[in-house]
Amino acid sequence: MNARVAQIVTLVAVVVGAMALVLGGTIRPARTAHAEPPLASHFSQPLPEVVVVTPAGKLFHDPACTHVHGPADRMPLAEAERLGYTACPWCLPIGR
Q: What is the pLDDT of residues 37-66, one digit of tens each?
A: 555 556 667 778 899 999 889 999 999 998
Query: Is 92 contained in some domain?
Result: no
Cα diameter, the chain: 65
Tell me whether residue 52 is in a domain: yes
**43 found inside a domain:** yes
Report the number of distinct structural domains present in the chain: 1
55: in domain: yes
Range of the domain at 75: 3-87
Within a domain: 96:
no
**In a domain? residue 47:** yes
Output 12 or 28, whichever has higher pLDDT. 12
- Which residue would you say has higher pLDDT here, 21 or 90? 90
